[in-house]
Chain A
Amino acid sequence: MKQFSYYTYFPGCSSTEGTAAGYGQSIKEVGSPLGLALIELEDWNCCGSTPYGSTHELESLCIAARNLALAEKAKITVLDEKDTPVEKADLDLVTPCSCCYTTLNRANSIMRQYPDLKDKVNECLDAAGLNYKGRVKVRHLFEVVYTDIGLDFIKSKIVNPLNGLKVAAYYGCQLTRTEPAFDNPRNPQTLDQLITSLGGEPVPFPLKDRCCGSSLIIPEPDIALGLVQNILESAASNGAQCIVTLCPLCQTNLDAYQAMVNRKFKTDYHLPVLFFTQLIGLAIIPKSLPVYIPKYPLVPEYLGLHTNIVSPNPVLNHLFMTRFYAAQRS
């Protein structure tokens, strides 16, 4: 039995009850089989994201730093193997959202780079009785799964291998490109490796880290829809059966706006867009899958799959059929 690894968890606004509710649900279901103990940060607030940083500099740093200060202060008590309570502090702050990851890391690095700004931020935090020393390390959930949990451990947990499911690994932009980089920013490979170890087949995907348009989809939909179309075309033309991503915003843009892209560009994409935690869940959580009607929005309510707008039924059917044939052969 693997020991649990403890982290402070910063879910981000969209993964709690917003547009990426399925992400949050799948993380909850996948967490304990992977040995991840994610303890939600008490009373966290929005990180501020790009819009706040683009309108107010000091305020945006303060908004982000409040979370960092709370995380620095957070302490939890856990029971070890001999049932004695142990206090844990200075846990890493883990977020599943690439935007939160970038924003919190940016606040950290700016405060390190400009000490006078840090003093100013602390002066503001003082109004709320908080203080930030700069000790918290911000990490992305995918990085934690890849480096701390490890692909070997995930492999040992697999009960339903993906059986050659063709997956396009979409990294989004901010995770690999911003400091501290944990993967090659020019040609990231880690998500492809995860797909391979789950039994899937990563397809060649040249636009794997091209921008999806992010929040521009609201103010400038014409620009952003063009970017989404490029990505969908790249994945579909390389024979992908689904796209896997690790950012709530990427998932929303590729999934919820797929019908709009189809209308605007007269295309016919039907690519389910899954979160990487949903894909891991499909492989490691034992569950019998019935046959589903393709394109029909009737999916099981586990792993948050019911929140996917482009129906993930073809993916589930692939898993069911390949397993069915394998059982017949044996």
Chain B
Amino acid sequence: MGIKAYLMVKTKKTDGEDNRAIALKDLETMPEVEAAVPVLGEYDVIITVDTPAKAGLIAEKIESKGWLKNLRVLKVEPVQPNPFLDEVCSLPGGECVRWCMQCGMCSASCPNVNQMDYSPRKLIARIRAGRRYDVLSSNTMWICASCYLCTARCPKDVKITELMHSLERLSAQHGLLNKVVSTPAMYKAFVDSIKKNGRVHEIGIMMQFYLKTNPFAALQMLPVAMQLMIHRRVGIKPTKIKGLKQIKAILERAQALGGT
């Protein structure tokens, strides 16, 4: 947890010349300065420094400059810790959450946005607000069909689809799975099939999924299954690969390494 200091800088005019640009340039080159933002009004630039000790150092540095007229400390405040944001940012694809500019192109592109608890834009806003429960228990990422339209269109190159997959994993880890959608059960059936056979056995997945969730829903799908069967598009017996032992060994090692 850090402490941030905000300093306000007023520049003076030398020989009628405006020194604001030079001041901004100087401030930006100082390594201790986190951000320098030009403002209008009584003062010209606001700078952010991350600890009070550094603030003293930087104040001395600035006071030695010729363009300085007035320097004032605006405020010193502790930075609110946001462990959830840090956690998301440490995942592959998650680091882009910081540079999202909330334009809403992802939500406008999403084919399933009207079924989601929060649109992708709102979800990112909630991650940045540190709302762990809201984000991880929502249905948003489970309704994402991974069509990548948001990722293709995002002007800031935020990897939204990748982020959704990371959130799906986080949500399972924290035991905050959404209770309404049944996508997690389908994913589990899919993964189990790979672990068992090395390849996906589609009918096996369907059976496991419907037995675990709602066996009556299977009746609704019966005509489709019949048609697939008639047209010889269903492998009744699963194909097992020869390297099943390899798969097992690889996965055991992965679990030992603590990979989720």
Chain A interface size band reads 35 or more
With A51-B187, A66-B250, A128-B249 known to touch, is A309 a contact of B149 (CB < 8 Å)?
Answer: no
**A186: chain B residues within 8 A (beta carbon):** 152-153
In whole angstroms, how far apart are the Cα atoms of A50 and B147 in the complex?
A: 11
In whole angstroms, how far apart are the Cα atoms of A213 and B145 in the complex?
A: 6
Q: Is there an interface contact between A219 and B186, defined as CB atoms closer than 8 Å?
A: yes
Q: Taking chain A's interface residues, is the majority helix, strand, or loop, or is none over half, making it mixed?
A: helix
Judged by a CB distance under 8 angstroms, whether A152 is at the interface is no
**A129: chain B residues within 8 A (beta carbon):** 246
Q: Is there an interface contact between B165 and A53, defined as CB atoms closer than 8 Å?
A: yes
Judged by a CB distance under 8 angstroms, whether A20 is at the interface is yes
Q: Is there an interface contact between B181 and A219, defined as CB atoms closer than 8 Å?
A: yes
Q: Is there an interface contact between A63 and B165, defined as CB atoms closer than 8 Å?
A: no
Judged by a CB distance under 8 angstroms, whether B191 is at the interface is yes
Q: How far is the CB of B257 from chain A (nearest CB, A)?
A: 6
**A–B complex contacts, Cβ < 8 Å, 21 sampled:** A18-B201, A43-B241, A49-B200, A52-B190, A54-B165, A55-B169, A57-B92, A63-B250, A124-B253, A125-B250, A174-B146, A210-B111, A210-B147, A214-B146, A216-B145, A219-B209, A220-B181, A220-B183, A227-B145, A256-B227, A308-B231
In whole angstroms, how far apart are the Cα atoms of A173 and B205 in the complex?
A: 24
**Proximity bits, B160-175, A CB within 8 Å = 1, else 0:** 0000111011001000
Q: Which residues of A are interface residues toward B (Cβ below 8 A)?
A: 13-14, 16-22, 43-46, 48-59, 62-63, 66, 102, 110, 113-114, 117, 120, 123-130, 173-174, 177-178, 185-186, 209-211, 213-216, 218-221, 223-224, 227, 252, 256-257, 259-260, 297, 306-309
Q: How far is the CB of B137 from chain A (nearest CB, A)?
A: 16
Q: How far is the CB of A74 from chain B (nearest CB, A)?
A: 14
Q: Which of B145, B151, B250 contacts A127 (CB 8 A)?
A: B250
**B181: chain A residues within 8 A (beta carbon):** 219-220
Q: Is there an interface contact between B147 and A214, defined as CB atoms closer than 8 Å?
A: yes
**B227: chain A residues within 8 A (beta carbon):** 256, 259, 309
Q: Is there an interface contact between B250 and A62, defined as CB atoms closer than 8 Å?
A: yes
Q: Is there an interface contact between B199 and A13, defined as CB atoms closer than 8 Å?
A: yes
**A56: chain B residues within 8 A (beta carbon):** 169, 191, 254, 259-260
Minimum CB distance partner of A185 in chain B: B152
Q: How far is the CB of B148 from chain A (nearest CB, A)?
A: 4
Q: How far is the CB of B209 from chain A (nearest CB, A)?
A: 6
**A54: chain B residues within 8 A (beta carbon):** 141, 164-165, 168-169, 187
Minimum CB distance partner of A17 in chain B: B235
With A19-B234, A58-B259, A59-B255 known to touch, is A218 a contact of B209 (CB < 8 Å)?
Answer: yes
Q: Is there an interface contact between A18 and B260, defined as CB atoms closer than 8 Å?
A: no
Q: Which 7 A-B pairs have the closest CB atoms?
A: A58-B259, A211-B147, A128-B246, A173-B147, A51-B190, A51-B187, A177-B148
Q: How far is the CB of B35 from chain A (nearest CB, A)?
A: 27
In whole angstroms, how far apart are the Cα atoms of A49 and B187 in the complex?
A: 10
Q: Which of A46, A220, A257 contacts B182 (CB 8 A)?
A: A220
Within 8 A of A (CB), among B217-260: 217, 220-221, 223-224, 227-228, 230-235, 239, 241-243, 245-247, 249-255, 257, 259-260
Q: Is there an interface contact between A256 and B243, defined as CB atoms closer than 8 Å?
A: no
Q: Is there an interface contact between A43 and B242, defined as CB atoms closer than 8 Å?
A: yes
**A123: chain B residues within 8 A (beta carbon):** 253, 257
In whole angstroms, how far apart are the Cα atoms of A214 and B90 in the complex?
A: 28
Q: Is there an interface contact between B92 and A110, defined as CB atoms closer than 8 Å?
A: yes
With A18-B234, A48-B194, A174-B146 known to touch, is A223 a contact of B186 (CB < 8 Å)?
Answer: no
Q: Is there an interface contact between B165 and A50, defined as CB atoms closer than 8 Å?
A: yes
Q: Which of A20, A102, A259 contacts B223 (CB 8 A)?
A: A259
Q: Is there an interface contact between A57 and B224, defined as CB atoms closer than 8 Å?
A: no
Q: Is there an interface contact between B165 and A307, defined as CB atoms closer than 8 Å?
A: no
Other than the known A54-B168, A124-B251, what 17 A-B pairs have Cβ atoms closer than 8 Å? Answer: A14-B202, A19-B202, A19-B228, A45-B243, A49-B200, A50-B165, A55-B187, A57-B166, A59-B259, A173-B145, A173-B147, A173-B149, A210-B111, A211-B147, A214-B146, A256-B228, A309-B233
